[in-house]
Amino acid sequence: MATTQEKTTPCCVHNDTAKSLPPQAPPALVRKPSDDWAVAATDPSEDPSRKRSAVATMIHSFETVTDSPTTNAASTKGIPIMVRAQTSHPLDPLSTAEISVAVATVRAAGETPEVRDGMRFFEVALVEPDKNVVALADAYFFPPFQPSLLPKTKGGPVIPSKLPPRRARLVVYNKKSNETSIWIVQLSEVHAATRGGHHRGKVIWSKVVPDVQPPMDAVEYAECEAVVKDFPLFREAMKRRGIEDMDLVMVDAWCAGYHSDADAPSRRLAKPLIFCRTESDCPMENGYARPVEGIHVLVDMQNMVVIEFEDRKLVPLPPADPLRNYTPGETRGGVDRSDVKPLQIIQPEGPSFRVNGHFVQWQKWNFRIGFTPREGLVIYSVAYIDGSRGRRPVAHRLSFVEMVVPYGDPNEPHYRKNAFDAGEDGLGKNAHSLKKGCDCLGYIKYFDAHLTNFNGGVETIENCVCLHEEDHGILWKHQDWRSGLAEVRRSRRLTVSFICTVANYEYGFFWHFYQDGKIEAEVKLTGVLSLGALQPGETRKYGTTIAPGLYAPVHQHFFVARMDMAVDCKPGEGFNQVVEVNVKIKEPGKNNVHNNAFYAEEELLRSELQAMRDCNTLSARHWIVRNTRNVNRTGQLTGYKLVPGSNCLPLAGSEAKFLRRAAFLKHNLWVTPYAREEMYPGGEFPNQNPRVGEGLATWVKQNRSLEEADIVLWYVFGITHIPRLEDWPVMPVERIGFMLMPHGFFNCSPAVDVPPSAGDVEVKDNVIAVKPIQNGLIAKL
């Protein structure tokens, strides 16, 4: 993720001269005469007895992870000092220099030249620090300074003069030994700008993880395609299908999954799917329109050789469909619509959001943007500024941690199409650069993403994350019928998003922040279908025939959102609980003589096993995360509720092989107490995973208490895709998602103070002009 060069552009026009806001000055700290620690002033009138132990724990954690304090001869008792500037916030994604140092450190730690030469780097990501480290950084080290994040104690908390060193976590595969290992590298504070990029790192922990296979990499995809296309028996099989030009052939190296002991992770395997274009001089031709069926290929990805090949059934290639392509001028006989006039969205005074590094402020929201190779976009430290109540946390971390796409056709090869697109491929690693197209409209702030490649080099996805404002229709309206007077406000939302491609499908992941305190998570599915070939005259009940000799199998898409909640909780506090709400119909009787009564009934989810829940539209089921210590003006506990959107559960049988790795799909909601090692619902390595129920389904067997805890919500939502003829040759966007909505969190609607000018839209000469907010929040970046 970009840390030095950040770009803000109107629509697709670049403006690299944008400047970030100047940092604010930190509060004065007083250095103790005997060491290099500092003490912050606090309110001496507040009784600190309840929180003293928390502070002691916080300070102890720093003493164990940071360098030893150093004395400073120039320091004098009582002299105010400034905390030394920190260049990277503890939650900022790793910079290119930090990734290079981490890779070089691990490579240098290899025991032999053979080990070092065989290292392949699948993931280099930030080791996210403990929540108390983040609290300290936000309180005293990075603007806007928020000392209220730390508990107040008598005399003030002891604050170190520097933050702990940042750390990187690496997933490394050795091609020579077929071993997967995990490394933790402590990064020095030397920076590329001052030392020419020659950082020092230190390996502080490593281990070999037995019986696993890491995700596939783009380099391996390319090598696998080349190996298969060069295999003599494959060439002969394609020749029998009338194809001799290997440049037309597409080989998608799908992970083997786990269906039997033959898929065990003792070998690194891929079972490719084959497709074939019709024109070698048309790189944008939809090659997925001509699937090659009947060929079985198994590739040893460690040694990059074909180890099994069989031409099982000669299925003719589907004929070239005239509607197969999607490029301009090639659809529907080469006639594109010509009656669409220009539509522009402009913000002549700039956007209403402010960005400082990765810290975003908009309206009353603030949060940090992060990015990982596996999850892609991560939203940290989400909080709402609520008048006299100040900063009110909502969530510590929001992200999409896994997705699974099972297909419903039992025939070869479709039964084994059940990709774990995050765990087997990486959503972040497959993200797009958005600089070449208007994927977002308006005044856009882009963030770059920095990732390692297979060989340990650093690659940058420019303009990977998009931040912009959107008009979202009416926020609220009321007309007094007696006076005829009306009040109306338009809704504006702040959207943070990225888009990735995994084989034939595109997925857009969006987090929307609204002026009335809502947060919406949305996934947009588009791209092109993964198809199958049919024999002449054949039809299949497990899909839709969309062209001669061509059909689209039924399938499902499941996504898992992991939400580390913090409703009205300071970092490290565990004062949340989860309540399920169902609407009940009152039985007929003397208290319901008109037989019309219904009411909402709440049930506290006290433990993990009790909190394995499914959606129920018949009872308007939803869930509320409540703070057990804070109340609103009516005396109710403050909370945020999870409101499901459309959803589904797996339609496969309970013994389906993919559910062996994806037991987390069996319920829509799971709740766990926070544990930093519990990140991925199917375990960290789902590729060729032989273990039943690893991950979330195993963790909840501990049946830990949820009555007052640091709550993590795991929401599983999906869509069942029964393809239509209208999904060919391109699949129009389908949207699914859910809402996090304030529920008793505010004493009245946060939308009440939205001014009429906040979202007014003027249309003139085919230009939509969105009026900016007139309350001093506009910042020209």
Helices (H), 260-359: none
Cα angle 379-380-382, degrees, rounded to a multiple of 5: 95
| Alpha-carbon distances, residue 754 vs 111, 479, 489, 492 (angstroms) | 63, 17, 7, 10
680 has catalytic annotation: no
Among the listed residues 754, 689, 644, 772, the one whose alpha carbon sits nearest the alpha carbon of residue 259 = 689
Rounded CA-CA distance 206/186 in Å is 12
For 96, the 3-state DSSP assignment is helix
* Straight-line distance from the first to the last Cα atom of the chain, in angstroms, rounded to the nearest whole number: 18
The neighbour count for residue 350, using CB atoms within 10 Å, is 15
Tokens at 690, concatenated: 């032989």
DSSP annotation of 425 reads I
- Spatial CA neighbour of 751 closest among 566, 478, 480, 521: 478
Instruction: Check 130, 252, 421, 568 and give the catalytic one.
Output: 421
Taking the C-alpha atoms of residue 189 and residue 200, their distance in angstroms, rounded to an integer, is: 8
* Cα–Cα separations (whole angstroms), residue 280 to 247, 447, 561, 708: 6, 36, 41, 62
Integer Cα distance of 503 and 555 in angstroms: 15
Count of C-beta atoms within a 10 Å radius of residue 125: 22
DSSP-assigned beta bridge partners for residue 479: 486
The number of beta carbons lying within 10 Å of the beta carbon of residue 17 is 8
Structure tokens at 534: 């049919």
Rg (CA), the chain: 28
Backbone phi, psi, residue 97, to 5°: -65, -40
3-state DSSP helix/strand/coil percent for the chain, to nearest 5?
Answer: 15, 40, 45
Find the catalytic residue in 140, 505, 551, 680. 505
377: nearest Cα among 434, 416, 424: 434
In contact, 146 and 391? CB cutoff 8 Å: yes
Residue 318 DSSP one-character state: P
State how far the Cα of 270 lies from the Cα of 256, in Å rounded to an integer.
Answer: 5
* 421 in catalytic set: yes
**Residues carrying an active site annotation:** 421, 505
